[in-house]
């Protein structure tokens, strides 16, 4: 459920992009759209506006339920508000297409920096109350997140600006919108599964280790 909640703005972006014609024809949104612009530009503008609103709702809903903000949601909200607003005002999808890459690479830098600054990597701070692992495992886990964020950002950049360059702009935008939901979500699910398998191996090893050895292996 949390994965779907985190992808809530992306899901609404996807739906509103492919239902842009319906929204233009049946809601007030049609009055805000320039009919002279290509359909995919108008669809991107509409989807971006919906995603910005969805991101505000996501942050507000999380705060109402927990009385605290999640940093990932705040970073995402800030980026989509800035880059999305530029896309809407200029009618240029490139700015919103950069958003997943900037966000993922920002997280990669933060996760990597946490290993250099502070006593514990971010992943250890987030999960150490739930599970106990040797320090080397925490470091490996944190570095794997760094790699995941970097690869996700690079993949988005490639699909958005370098994949299938000879295709019509409409087709290339459709491909990126599909990748933004299914591709990035698929990468996330695959990574989480691999992470769970990796963790289960070490949790089992810890359970099988005598108490004295286990305590000595912890940071």
Q: Which of 46, 76, 92 is at the close of a domain? A: 92
> What is the full DSSP assignment across 154-193?
HHHHHHHHTTTTTS-HHHHHHHHHHIIIIIHHHHHHHHHH
What are the backbone angles phi and psi of residue 134, rounded to the nearest 5°?
Answer: -65, 155
Q: Which of 39, 66, 92 is at the close of a domain? A: 92
Q: Which residues of the chain carry a pLDDT beneath 70? A: 1, 3, 203-219
* Per-residue CA distances from 28 to 12, 20, 191 (Å): 18, 12, 41
Q: Which of 74, 92, 110 is at the close of a domain? A: 92
pTM of the model: 0.85
Question: CA-CA distance, 127 to 94, in Å (whole number)?
Answer: 36
On whether both 126 and 63 belong to a single domain, the answer is no
pLDDT of the residue at 191: 94
On whether both 49 and 137 belong to a single domain, the answer is no
Question: CA-CA distance, 183 to 194, in Å (whole number)?
Answer: 17
- In the chain, count of helices (H) and strands (E)? 11, 0
On whether both 107 and 132 belong to a single domain, the answer is yes
pLDDT of the residue at 214: 40
Domain range enclosing 14? 1-92
Q: How many domains does the chain have?
A: 2
* pLDDT per position as a tens digit, 110-160: 999 999 887 889 988 888 778 888 888 999 999 999 999 999 999 999 999
């Amino acid at each position: 459920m949390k994965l779907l909640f985190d992808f809530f703005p992306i899901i609404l972006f996807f739906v509103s992009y492919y239902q842009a014609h319906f929204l233009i024809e049946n809601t007030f949104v049609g009055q805000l759209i320039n009919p002279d612009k290509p359909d995919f530009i108008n669809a991107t503008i509409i989807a971006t506006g919906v995603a910005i609103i969805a991101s505000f709702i996501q942050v507000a809903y999380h705060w109402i339920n927990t009385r605290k903000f999640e940093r990932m949601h705040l970073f995402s909200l800030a980026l989509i508000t800035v880059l999305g607003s530029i896309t809407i005002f200029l009618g240029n999808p490139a700015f919103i297409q950069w958003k997943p890459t900037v966000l993922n690479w920002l997280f990669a830098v933060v996760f990597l920096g946490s290993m250099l600054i502070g006593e514990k990597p971010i992943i250890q701070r987030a999960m150490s109350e739930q599970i106990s692992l040797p320090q080397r495992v925490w470091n490996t886990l944190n570095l794997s997140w760094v790699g995941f964020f970097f690869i996700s950002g690079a993949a988005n950049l490639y699909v958005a600006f370098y994949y299938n360059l000879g295709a019509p702009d409409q087709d290339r935008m459709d491909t990126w919108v599909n990748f933004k939901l299914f591709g990035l979500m698929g990468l996330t699910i695959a990574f989480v599964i691999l992470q769970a398998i990796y963790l289960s191996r070490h949790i089992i090893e810890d359970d099988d280790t005598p108490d004295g050895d286990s305590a000595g292996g912890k940071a």
